[in-house]
Structure 1
């Protein structure tokens, strides 16, 4: 039984369900996230049905919302109350793959709200810094505590990591996340407000299933929301 103050956040690039979705579902069910930050969700016109069905299969819910062509979204468990959620695009060059973020205001029972966001940054280095600035201007972690995670498409020490690190603290370990079969790069991360202490839950995740599920490894963090208790 999870503690009443604990919020488990998982960030996962699912590569549009193009790989072994049974392995993917099994991995997510084992991690039991309260919030699943999804990157590369299917984005074709009828993909909402696939996302909703996937959410149901792993015991989560999808707030839906107008996504346009953007492939970033988030799912929540039944213990999480979603006050509102939006999907927004980030500026990219004409003809490039759409990039964006999903932002929700959520709360646990008996706790004040916080923001959670899933994002997927551009492959172009000159676009990522203004994209990160756009996300932070909406997230406003100085007003309401926030957790943000996703596929940054750059390694630590570069613009996005520095920008997020100025206001938030990094909640994930210094471990490679891509590609899942033989990871050599760390391009995924979760950041959070300093008022939200964190720890890493312990799972026994099968490396073979992780490699079959998608091309990224998942990130997972338990946040202590005691500071938000009413």
Structure 2
């Protein structure tokens, strides 16, 4: 009898494991996703001089337990952050997530750009440079996008970007991103520092193609007495997800931006 019971529980255990996805989630269906976007200021707390504090950023992420994180202002092997310090890789290690880094510019002997973290294994990744008007000038910007499987047979694209300080560049960069993923055929979530307010032409352009996780979005900068909303989470198509909640986390030490967290229902 004991042998029969042991065999029964073994079979149940095997079936349960077969239906588990990353972190023990059911592989057949995922009901919701938690998404964060965070401009991490190269892990340099503004109040701490030149100190680089990667664990502080990791702690913010771990506390929220997101499925995806869009990171901006990420250093890799720079003098200011330390040769041999790959911030995206280290944050992935400290949070137990997968990562993909997209270089934007050379900086202090290393690289600087955007990145994504994902609880789900990365199946594919894409990086491309965003346009800058040569007359206006501006810092090179890129996008980091990954494809993951959140449930059996259900793939999504998750991306991170950081748009330029000049509005004409932001508009052309937005047009480039929207056009690139227009015919992807997969649901998509993007987070980033858009350097644009909700009422701006840039965000109005995005609103034509993506759905923001919030319409009345709380300010994200500066960290003390924030008064501007420039960090957003968006998704498409509208029927793939439904924004359930969006919160701006009151974390005033680790960066000069406040992190944004959205709960998305998966339809």
| TM-score in terms of structure 2 length | 0.74
Structure 1's unaligned 5+ residue stretches are none
Give the C-alpha shift of residue 114 in structure 1: 1.5
- Name which structure has the greater RCO, CA cutoff 8 Å, separation 6+: 1
The question of 1:11 aligning with 2:44 is answered: no
Does residue 50 of structure 1 match 2:92?
Answer: no
Residue equivalent to 2:260: 219
Change (3 A) 1:223 1:47: farther
Larger Rg computed on CA atoms: 2
Deviations 1:153-210, CA, capped at 9 Å, x for gaps: 111121221111012111035200001122110111111121111212779x5x4xx1
Q: Is there any run of 5+ residues in structure 2 with no aligned partner, and where? A: 1-23, 46-52, 106-111
Question: In the aligned structure 2, how far is the partner of 1:128 from the partner of 1:122?
Answer: 5
- Correspondences of 1:203-214 after superposition (within 5 Å): 207=250, 210-214=251-255
Instruction: Name whichever structure is richer in strand by fraction.
Output: 2
Identify which of 61, 77, 92 aligns with 2:132. Answer: 92
Counterparts of 1:32 and 1:166, CA distance in 2: 30
CA deviation after TM superposition for structure 1 residue 111, in Å: 4.2
Q: Secondary structure at the match of 2:252?
A: helix
Greater than 6 Å deviation, 4+ residue runs: none
> TM-score when scaled to structure 1?
0.84
**Relative to structure 1, is the Cα distance of residues 142 and 90 closer, same or farther in structure 2, using a 3 angstrom cutoff?**
closer
Q: Which residue of 1 aligns with 2:193?
A: 151
Deviates more, 1:91-100 or 1:127-136: 91-100
**Are the aligned partners of 1:176 and 1:186 in contact in 2 as well (CA < 8 Å)?**
yes
Please say if residues 81 and 109 of structure 1, whose CA atoms lie closer than 8 Å, have aligned partners that are also in contact: no
